[in-house]
A and B are shown apart, each in its own frame.
Chain A
Amino acid sequence: MAAAAQHPNIKLYTYAEVTEVSGYIGNFEITIKQKAKSVDHNKCTGCGTCWEKCPTKVDSEFDLGLGKRKAIYIPFAQAVPNKPVIDRNTCRQFTKGKCGVCQKVCPTGAVDYDQQDEYIKEKVGAIVMATGYDLFEWEKVYGEYGYGRYPDVITGLHFERMASASGPTGGKIIRPSDGKEPKTVVFIKCVGSRDDQKGKSYCSRACCMYTAKHAHQVLEKIPGAQAYIFYMDVRTAGKMYEEFYAKTLEDGAQYIRGRVSKIYPLGDKLIVRGADTLAGVPVEIEADLVVLATAMVPAKGSEEIAKIVGFSLDKDGFFQEAHPKLGPVETTTGGVFLAGACQGPKDIPDTVAQASAAAAKVIGLLSKDQLAAEPIVSQVNEELCSGCELCKPICPYKAIDMKKITERAHGKVIERTVATVNTSLCQGCGACTVACRVGALNLKGFTNEQLLAEVEAICL
């Protein structure tokens, strides 16, 4: 993280979003919306006085509500950049119009309540999408697990925050309800994954391994603890993965093959009801904490950003690669590449590998001085074009524009509108040629004349 911020070739925009992309491979024009941080980061030294003194406490998004943050905040101690922003939705200065504490205590005068959103334009030759994933919202559909009503039923990411030495519990695994150390922890895999009825049909790929890690951590951190894992399959395809799983078994984790049909509170315990399908018996476990391995789903806003940049999604809303084997980091839009879980669920080793692959593709592209553009593109016969504009909305690559031409007709000079194709954007799909009612559009290499000759060859 720090390496990225310090690299002389990397310009970092945090608290920012890409709002517009136009152009084509090698020549994109982008607009970045820099949301108002309400803090001048050039003046700010990151001393922390402001967030110490801020009177507003809200749930920390970074700690998934397990801890608190202030209205002026850095998400966590090692954040990059290590300088705060003001959350205007909760800050008293913005919600009530009075407070001003942070501005008063700031030794460098960096707090600026009047800062506005800024729009920055940049030109780039290639784009890497790395928008990641979010967790499946199990609370909305898994009624049998309590719809999120029981505080001691948490997700793997909550567990990570608790296990983290710099997290809200200082690395201690506790029950969120009463802060006690759990002695019996039940893990449930495939919550939302491989579940056509309530969730997604796909496997989220990382859960088998992180659940094994969590079980290992429970047994390591809590003396005398028990860890039960309900699973459908244990999938450990990866270097040193099976060995890691074997070690977790050796540590004493109890793997139970079967689904959990119900979790309910009884006293201060959670009763986990499930099936052991290998033994063929129903099982009931009195648990102190239940950890769900929830499915990975595309990050919120993926669909919007895909539309802005201009490429397609797969059936689950992940970014569609050009080809699963021959073009795994490319999209069908030239110059746009994919890295990480935005393309599909994957773990860290795979993410890093794919990110480097995408980087290699970008480096290969940017190393060239010029690009050879494929000549199979649409062309307009201006004499025939009536300027009806039917082709324009049909083009999936925004390659068709209208232009004015002047010409002489019956002794008069007249001006009229015709279509024009940006040959750099055109991908030669041919959609416009079919839409053109007067036959003014032709795809080079697949002209109407050539296609009719083919028909003649077969039919006559």
Chain B
Amino acid sequence: MKRIGVFVCWCGSNIGGVVDVPRVAEAAKEMPNVVFATDYKYMCSEPGQELIIKAAKEHNLDRVVVASCSPRLHEQTFRKAAERAGLNPYMFEMANIREHVSWVHAQEKEKATEKAIELVRRAVFKAARLEPLYKSAIGITKKALVIGGGIAGIQAALDIADAGFQVILVEKEPTIGGKMAQLDKTFPTLDCSS
């Protein structure tokens, strides 16, 4: 038996102003494998994350679904919250009910709520099939290559070299300096460009 917790976010009025958020949370409770569902004003905030961590422990959750904004914004936030709750960070799934629902269906509140429930169901079904994933470690060659020896390349090379790393600077012309070396005084201070 999987134990999924669903957390539905209001995003203030961003989602809550359109979608009936408590109804989405209620509907989630009826979905397979869901043992806990609730809603909160700002799920990404510190109290919101604490809510997830506390619920995970109390209800012995083994996977988490957050219905809120785009994963581009807060996927990493909630993966870390899951990790703090003692779960594998990849045992987390997100449903985007802001960009995909409330922001684009502001005029159709009833249908928006139905769509939000659908998207939460999608996330719940996927969550049930999640497996823990683990990051692997790769080594690093502590040396940098800079291609182009104009002002940009020289500046980057010097900064990296000053930090103590080896730099290879490759320039196709017989001299470094690039366009900068061709210039006379430079604005706005009119100092020389050598």
Contact = CB atoms under 8 A, between A and B. Distances in A.
> Do the two chains touch directly in the complex (Cβ atoms below 8 Å apart)?
yes
Secondary structure at the B interface, as helix, strand, loop or mixed, is mixed
B154 to A, nearest CB: 5
Interface in A336-358: 339-342, 347-348, 351-352, 354-356, 358
Contact of B170 (A16, A132, A340, A450): A16
5 contacts: A11-B167, A125-B144, A351-B155, A355-B153, A373-B137
B159 A26 contact: no
B147 A127 contact: yes
Given A129-B148, A339-B152, A450 B182 contact: no
Given A10-B158, A130-B146, A371-B138, A161 B174 contact: no
A164 interface: yes
Contacts of A351: 151-152, 155
B140 A368 contact: yes
B126 A123 contact: no
B144 A1 contact: no
A123 B143 CA distance: 7
A313 interface: no
Interface string A237-251: 011110110000000
B160 A362 contact: yes
Contact of B151 (A62, A157, A244, A348): A348
A204 B169 CA distance: 27
B107 interface: no
A453 B182 CA distance: 62
Interface of A: 1, 3-5, 7-18, 24-28, 30, 32, 37, 62, 64, 73-76, 78-81, 84-85, 122-133, 157, 160-161, 163-165, 167, 171, 209-210, 212-213, 217, 238-241, 243-244, 299, 301, 305, 309, 339-342, 347-348, 351-352, 354-356, 358-360, 362-363, 365-376, 423-424, 444-445, 447, 449-451, 453-454, 456-458
Interface string B115-154: 0001101111110111001111111111111111111111
Contacts of B122: 454, 457-458
B170 A13 contact: yes
Nearest to B165: A366
Interface stretch (B19-27, B41-49, B185-193): B185-193
B141 A124 contact: yes
A32 B170 contact: yes
B121 A458 contact: yes
* Chain B contact patch, size range: 35 or more
Contact of B155 (A18, A24, A347, A355): A355
A71 B183 CA distance: 24
Secondary structure at the A interface, as helix, strand, loop or mixed, is mixed
Interface of B: 90, 118-119, 121-126, 128-130, 133-190, 193-194
Nearest to B152: A340
A37 B151 contact: no
Closest 10 CB pairs of A and B: A340-B152, A359-B159, A130-B153, A457-B125, A355-B155, A130-B148, A79-B175, A9-B161, A375-B133, A26-B140
Given A356-B159, A458-B118, A157 B179 contact: yes
A303 to B, nearest CB: 14
Contacts of B150: 130, 132, 340
A163 B183 CA distance: 8
Contacts of A10: 157-158, 161, 167-169
A326 B166 CA distance: 28
Nearest to A79: B175
A124 B180 contact: no
B2 to A, nearest CB: 12
A212 B119 CA distance: 57
A453 B193 CA distance: 62
Of B126, B163, B175, most A-chain CB atoms within 10 Å: B175
Given A209-B188, A375-B90, A454-B122, A124 B168 contact: yes
A132 B148 contact: yes
A164 B184 contact: yes
A122 B156 contact: no
